[in-house]
């Protein structure tokens, strides 16, 4: 590897989603290496992400289309970016137009913006989940919702991650306490949103 490499990272949440849009945006930066994941970003234990962290060296620049592709919570975002900066690695978030230089060079304003935007993104995700739960509760109350509530999206993310790691579907069902029917239903490639409006029960 050269003394200074341009590295890209792209992620989608599941196998049935497409990386093409992110890869197309990254292509403009003439990258030397690109790492990808098709797995939930709820934590940093992702194959492509770990490979990227091991590959990156002092002087390199990591390009990511947006912060939520890099980390799904503020704690991980700040921890990982700090680690990279301390190792002499810069990070460029394209959508947010934030460039984090190696430790000591990044302005206080950039760090503040990173923290604020990461916190806002995490808050927005929490609001979406709360709105989903509230919508179902109100629908049940007025009798418009006859079936069971859709399965928690976190369980779906966990199931997909376990399957990605090679865990058998039987063991996934046992660990998450869900039926095989539910597992196939919510992880099917046809279910692009991860959740279905289940009006017939699971």
160-180 tens-digit pLDDT: 888 877 788 888 888 888 888
* 19 within 8 A of 58, measured Cβ to Cβ: no
Quick: pLDDT tens for 118-142: 676 666 666 666 666 666 666 667 7
Mapping DSSP to helix (H, G, I), strand (E, B) and coil, where does residue 101 land?
coil
Structural domain boundaries, residue 75: 6-118
Is the same domain home to 60 and 108? yes
H or E stretch at 36:
strand 33-38
Task: Decide if 13 is catalytic.
Answer: yes
Is the same domain home to 23 and 99? yes
Give pTM, 2 decimals: 0.58
Here the CATH number for the domain that contains residue 154 is 1.10.10
Q: Name the catalytic one among 13, 14, 107, 188.
A: 13
Task: Collect all residues with Cβ–Cβ distance below 8 Å to 86 and sequence separation of at least 6.
Answer: 102, 103
């Amino acid at each position: 590897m050269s003394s200074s490499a341009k590295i890209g990272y792209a992620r989608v949440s599941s196998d049935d989603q497409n990386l093409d849009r992110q890869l197309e945006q990254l292509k403009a930066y003439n990258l030397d290496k690109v790492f990808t994941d098709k797995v939930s970003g709820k934590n940093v234990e992702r194959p492509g992400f770990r490979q990227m962290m091991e590959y990156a060296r002092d002087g390199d620049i990591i390009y990511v289309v947006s912060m939520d592709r890099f980390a799904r919570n503020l704690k991980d975002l700040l921890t990982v970016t700090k680690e990279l900066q301390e190792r002499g690695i810069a990070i460029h978030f394209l959508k947010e137009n934030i460039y984090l230089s190696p430790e000591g060079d990044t302005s206080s304003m950039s760090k503040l913006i990173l923290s604020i935007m990461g916190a806002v993104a995490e808050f927005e995700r929490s609001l979406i989940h709360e709105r989903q739960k509230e919508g179902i509760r109100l629908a049940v109350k007025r009798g418009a919702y006859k079936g069971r509530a859709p399965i928690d999206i976190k369980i779906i993310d966990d199931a997909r991650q376990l399957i990605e790691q090679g865990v058998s579907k039987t063991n996934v069902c046992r660990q998450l306490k869900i039926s095989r029917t539910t597992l196939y239903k919510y992880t099917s490639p046809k279910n692009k949103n991860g959740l279905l409006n289940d009006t017939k029960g699971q």
